[in-house]
Amino acid sequence: MEVLILPDRERAATLAARIIARELRADPGLVLGLATGRTMERVYARLADLHAREGLDFSRCTTFNLDEYIGIPADHPGSYRRYMDERLFGPVDIPRARTHLPDGMAPDLAAACRDYEARIRDAGGIGLQLLGLGSDGHIGFNEPLSALRSRTREKALTPATLAQNAEMFGGDPDRVPRRALTMGVGTILDSRRCLMLVTGETKADILARAVEGPITAMVTASALQLHPCCQVVVDEEAAARLQGTDYYRWILAHEPEWASDRDLLA
């Protein structure tokens, strides 16, 4: 795991977008795993900008989102399909047929989950998986006690997650769907590369537990410590409770791989 600390959330999102853009330029047929949430809005705005200004090509990539609520239609303002359509898929040139989210309206949800896993396999597996961090330590909607080898399936959401995501449902946690379909922790760990973006002081404690704490199903993001190629991009506020910051800063300042990104440092 590699932790990259940037001065603020704007620059952290810019670095995440640059990492994705580099992968996409190197492999235009990239299979990209995508995440939702407020943290990602800045990343998608930058990718849309790179498409508009520099012609970043999404036409041959394939995407799989981590999760979707159960029981709300695609055009519902809180659905992740709508979130993605508005923030990324609409603004760039990706054919809709190449964009995938779990089908939370399927009559047979278990079959829809098996089908989602099969589609990821048929596409050749996920090359780069973008991840956010839930306030309860989840990745995707893998709530505490999710099996660390789990595959795409239905999960009940915690009260913390309902509160965190209430904004898209008129600010009322009672209007947030109680259940969702999500890639499993095992599905995520099968990605060839993982990129988690975490910003803001409210995430500082849970980020420290995820990155430096023990691997535990109580904080499913901690399973990323098992991944052979995982980068965690954070801002100073989110990094506030980390123990190893001197070393993490040294990497970004001295490793040749990050030379072209040093303009993002303070």
Ligand X SMILES: N[C@@H]1[C@@H](O)[C@H](O)[C@@H](COP(=O)(O)O)O[C@@H]1O
Residues at the contact surface with ligand X, assessed by CB under 6 A: 35-39, 66-67, 132-134, 140-141, 161, 165
For ligand X, the closer CB: 62 or 220: 220
Here the tokens at position 255 are 């490793």
Q: Tell me if 218 sits within 8 A of 224, measured CB to CB.
A: no
Q: Which is nearer to ligand X, 37 or 125 (CB)?
A: 37
**Closer to ligand X at the Cβ: 37 or 251?**
37
| Residue 109 C-beta: closest distance to ligand X, Å | 17
d(CA 35, CA 253): 28
What does the alpha-carbon distance between residue 123 and residue 116 come to, in Å, rounded to a whole number?
Answer: 11
Between 23 and 67, name the residue whose CB sits nearer to ligand X: 67
Amino acid in position 123: A
At its nearest, how many Å lie between ligand X and the CB of residue 17? 15
CB of 67 to ligand X, least distance (A): 5
Which CB sits closer to ligand X, 62 or 164?
164
Cα–Cα distance, 24 to 35 (Å, whole number):
17
**d(C-alpha 89, C-alpha 44), whole Å:** 9
State the nearest-atom distance from the C-beta of 35 to ligand X, in Å.
5
The nearest distance, CB 180 to ligand X, in angstroms, is 7
Catalytic residues: 67, 136, 138, 143
Cβ closer to ligand X: 127 or 132? 132
For the bound state, the minimum distance from the C-beta of residue 187 to ligand X, rounded and expressed in Å, comes to 13
